[in-house]
Chain A
Amino acid sequence: MAIDSDVLVIGGGLAGMTAAIAAADAGAETRLVTASQSTLRQASGLIDVLGYPPSGSSSPTGADSPGGPVPRGDAGAPADDSRGPLVDPFDAVADLPEGHPYERVGPDAIRDGLAAFDAIVEGYAGGHTDANALVPTHGGAVKPTARYPDSTAAGLASDGRDAVLVGFSSLPALDAPLAAAHLSEAGVPFAVDGVTVRFPGELRADATATRYAELLERDELPGGEVEGASATAVSDGGREAASCRAVLADRVADAVDAADVDPQRIGFPAVLGEEHPTEVRAALADRLDAAVFEVPCGPPSLPGIRLERQLRAALRDRDVSVADGRPVVDFQATTDRVDEVHVESAGGGTVPMAAEQYVLATGGLVGTGIEADREAVREPVFDCHVAHPGDRYEWFADDVFGDHPFAAFGVAVDRSLRPLDAADAPEFANLRAAGAVLGGYDLAAEKSGAGVSLATGHAAGATAAKGA
């Protein structure tokens, strides 16, 4: 006897969770299964829609790609590159090539996806305009993005206030002097310097990002220690000396005094708390008498973790049943419908799950929703068709930052997001795909990963609920 639901979503990343929320909001009894934690925890937490037009749309393929040099300020691009960054992603949507996920679902679906995101998630900015914001990231690059966490809001590159970036000597995630130099070189419209301080408690060099967040959130020093303990025992000074935020603020203030810039805003690696980042930021801003912002860093990423936490809570609020760590290993179908999928249980047995409608949101090459070996590229759950050249030397470009065909490998879909077989017919009438499992776009180059997940996830979930 299969575990039943109206809609079964396979995949627990941004696209899958968005799809499940949309399906539940449309009244469908919805279930979600995931093979492992999603790559959302490695993501910056920024919601990009389209930062650069893809090659082959409105401009020639330049030698520079977005992965290369940083844009020189918000005025635009490296001088000889007409490809971006885009001021308004919606201006470029009409020119996208056929088969691009946005071309499939249309601009209204992008807006619907963003509107759904804005309704679900708290603590994000950017909804007041269609235009891209420019968020400085850990390498000193500037990322064009449609929505961004409040924690990064004071850091925008279009803001004229002078800034100092602060790195922690034990945390390699942000090399502040390097990032600041990179931003200056890019011609940002403000003065910026970078300083490095020791984090209170002298954490080990490989302490995890969550350890920093925990200490700042609890406002404790490691082991409940007190800075300079013996000197300042029972006094206000004693309490201060036991406060991670106070000790950190003192060290930052000293370092900023010695910096070349007198800042109105100060940027930190994005580890300022996990559950209550607003409180941590406000406390530091108060002590430093400057605006405080987070600089998104590489994985593991607290902004990504916070976003996942919010979306998980939204699933719970909607009574979406979630089974984690449960890969789909097999399925049964009649000619044009998926009847049930078989989900691996902890002991290696399988549990059947059946639904009227299915959404495939298993991720791309990194999320393992698309797999490749030396012979072929495939979609492992339903074995949907993935177009790719037979000769694997045609899968990639020789230039590291070139336009790699592999980056756009994925399933092709019709306009209602049903995966298509090699003859362009739907693989199954009741299966839709969303997010990075889709082909036809290079999310890293064009900065569209989150936007595609929201637009296609929302559309797939809502359509699936209608069909159920």
Chain B
Amino acid sequence: MRDTDSSDDRATDGGVDADAPDDPGPDAGADAFDPVQVFPDSGEMDLRPGADSCYKCSTCDTNCPVAEVDDEFPGPKFQGPEQWRLSRDDAPEVDPSIEACSNCMRCDHACPTDVPLSQMHNTARGTYVDDQLSTFSATYLRKKILANYGRLGRLGSTFPRLTNVVMGNSLVRSVTDRVLGITNEREFPTFARQTFRSWWAERGGAQVESEERRVAYFHGDYANYNTPDVGKALVRVFEHFGYEVAVPRQRCSGTPMFANGMLGDARRAAEVNVAEFGALIEEGYDVVCSCTSCSMALRQEYPELFDIEGIDRVAANTYDAIEYLRIHEDLSGALAAASATDVPNLAYHAPCHARNQGLAEQALAVGGAIDDVAVEDVGDSCSGISGTYGWKSPHYETSMAIGEQMFEHMDAADAETGMTECPTCAMQMEHGTGYEVRHTLELLAATLTEETEWAE
């Protein structure tokens, strides 16, 4: 078990290690080392403790879904500690294979010695994009588009029907594939006719007031523009338990930006989110997310990558929505007392970013508590899409090869509807099996609240 102190060794560009080169800090003793600057100009990042903790057991490599199917990809051990060592001296170039990492972050949870692998990958990818990729290249443009999905979403939601028709057009998709390298194998996600935020405004915001029970909802772009039913389900479930829900101004969590090496864009988004949610935390709110990649970003990647005032406080007070209810309410008791008719058998896939937060089994526990509902786990493999990764033409085949195990297990499961908490895992599940895929919060809402039916 790691102890509490060592978690402070997480290298950050802020937090406790920001000043490390000049100020060894209170813990420095005879065993203090000289921190090494890996990215000289940043003056901030020190990943040496992480690199030194690696004893090369390669457990991370055996957890890497990309390395299992992609012969060009050298695996997380290389991308993390080994590349860090190699890049120290006169060879600052980052190996282009960093682009093949899908940012599933499974290696983080695999490592027995807490090497901050995904942090190393994120920083290396950021360096690669900043220093080695032309901003005029199609690859850069694709990254910019995929990383900033929220802008596309805002536009698409303004004219949802038109956008859905245009983006579904085969000629348009052929052009995006060939020019931008965004695969035409996938259907673009459809934009909802009414965004979550517009629904929220229309209903007059929070319907429950409470001094003690307050949550601020981080919906992210996808629940807002594409799956507002997930956001509505969250609001209704929390109001059912007597929570006052706030929906502050917010931007993308940054997940697609980290994954595309766009750390500057991610930082700008993070600044908005930390300021908005930090202010609500001061007023007694906790932050809840419906998307497990969003909660992963706020909790882990923010403090690992950015030095923004209040960022640690936001991280420590952010939860997955279902996790939050399990901690603070008698969720299984409430579910046992209710019943869900009309809910079919569900084939559940735990997203990697839920797994990394220790949440892989909660949907099964939730399903197990409801009479008449059967939730079947489809195994611990990665879905393969990893956000925007499986949208890139060069990674499409890899993405589908990774997903093959999940597709097989879904086929074998006694269910024809899928369930997960990650919007892009849901896309992959639909794409690979043709199943309709729902969110665990929708199951909770259909079970616990009057106003939500399990509509098709």
A interface with B by C-beta (< 8 Å):
1, 3, 10-11, 33, 35-39, 41-42, 201, 203-204, 206-211, 214, 222-223, 299-300, 305, 312, 316, 319, 321-330, 344-349, 351, 362, 366-369, 371, 373-374, 380-381
Contacts and interface: CB of A to CB of B under 8 A. Distances in A.
Given A37-B109, A210-B61, A348-B315, 8 more contacts: A300-B57, A324-B355, A328-B1, A329-B2, A346-B295, A347-B300, A348-B312, A348-B316
The 4 closest A-B pairs by CB, nearest first: A347-B299, A346-B357, A208-B61, A347-B315
8 contacts: A37-B109, A214-B69, A300-B58, A324-B355, A324-B358, A347-B299, A348-B303, A380-B1
Contacts of A369: 1
Contact of A211 (B67, B112, B357): B67
Given A204-B74, A300-B57, A373-B31, A362 B356 contact: no
Contacts of A368: 1-2, 112-113
Given A37-B109, A373-B31, A374-B31, A346 B361 contact: no
A299 B58 contact: yes
Contact of B3 (A36, A351, A374, A380): A380
B7 A344 contact: yes
Nearest to A41: B59
Contact of A322 (B3, B296, B361): B361
B1 A362 contact: yes
Interface in B264-316: 295-296, 298-300, 303, 312, 315-316
Nearest to A369: B1
A326 B358 contact: yes
Contact of A351 (B30, B67, B112, B327): B327
Contacts of B61: 208-210, 300
B68 A299 contact: no
Nearest to A437: B1
Contacts of A316: 364, 377
A330 B355 CA distance: 22
A348 B7 contact: yes
A340 B319 CA distance: 21
Contacts of A327: 1-2
A234 B108 CA distance: 45
A299 B57 contact: yes
A367 B112 contact: yes
B300 A214 contact: no
Contact of A371 (B3, B317, B361, B368): B3
A205 B317 CA distance: 44
B240 to A, nearest CB: 17
B261 interface: no
Contact of B109 (A222, A321, A324): A324
Interface string B114-142: 10000000000000000000000000000
A344 B72 CA distance: 36
A285 to B, nearest CB: 25
Contact of A347 (B113, B298, B377): B298
Contact of B361 (A11, A201, A209, A323): A323
Nearest to A11: B1
A10 B323 CA distance: 19
Given A37-B110, A325-B358, A346 B58 contact: no
Contacts of B427: none
A211 B71 contact: yes
Interface range for B:
35 or more
A209 B303 CA distance: 33
Contact of B112 (A39, A210, A323, A373): A39
A351 B67 CA distance: 34
A321 B361 contact: yes
A201 B358 contact: no
B360 interface: yes
B179 interface: no
A208 B68 contact: yes
A42 B71 contact: no
B275 to A, nearest CB: 17
Contacts of B360: 322, 324
B316 A36 contact: no
Interface of B: 1-4, 7, 30-31, 57-59, 61-64, 67-69, 71-72, 74-75, 78, 108-114, 295-296, 298-300, 303, 312, 315-319, 323, 326-330, 355-361, 364-365, 368, 377, 380
A218 B357 CA distance: 31
B67 A381 contact: no
Nearest to A319: B368
Contacts of B323: 345
> Which of A42, A223, A346 is the most central at the interface, judged by chain B CB atoms within 10 Å of its CB?
A346
A15 to B, nearest CB: 14
A276 to B, nearest CB: 12
Contact of B2 (A35, A322, A349): A35
Contacts of A211: 67-69, 71
B68 A347 contact: no
A367 B114 CA distance: 11
A299 B360 CA distance: 25
Nearest to A373: B31
Contacts of B359: 323
B3 A37 contact: no
A378 to B, nearest CB: 9
Contacts of B71: 201, 203-204, 207, 211, 222-223
Contacts of A351: 327
Contacts of B299: 345-348
A3 B327 contact: yes
A171 to B, nearest CB: 12
Contacts of B67: 207-208, 210-211
B401 to A, nearest CB: 9
Contacts of A347: 295, 298-300, 315-319
A319 B368 CA distance: 9
Contacts of A344: 7
A201 B72 CA distance: 12
> Which of B62, B317, B328, B329 is the most central at the interface, judged by chain A CB atoms within 10 Å of its CB?
B62
Contact of B75 (A208, A319, A374): A208
> Which of B58, B67, B78, B114 is the most central at the interface, judged by chain A CB atoms within 10 Å of its CB?
B58
A208 B303 contact: no
> Which of B4, B299, B330, B356 is the most central at the interface, judged by chain A CB atoms within 10 Å of its CB?
B4
A39 B59 CA distance: 9
A203 to B, nearest CB: 6
Nearest to B109: A325
A18 to B, nearest CB: 18
B449 to A, nearest CB: 22
A376 B316 CA distance: 31
Nearest to A1: B328
B3 A329 contact: yes
Contacts of B317: 347, 349
B58 A323 contact: no
B319 A345 contact: yes
B300 A346 contact: yes
Contacts of B112: 36-39, 366-368
A366 B312 CA distance: 30
A36 B109 CA distance: 6
A323 B62 contact: no
Contacts of A10: 1
B377 A325 contact: no
B192 to A, nearest CB: 29
B437 to A, nearest CB: 22
Contact of B68 (A41, A210, A371): A210
A432 B48 CA distance: 37
A210 B62 contact: yes
Contact of A300 (B59, B329, B377): B59
Contacts of A328: 1
Contacts of B64: 208, 210
Nearest to A381: B1
A94 B277 CA distance: 63
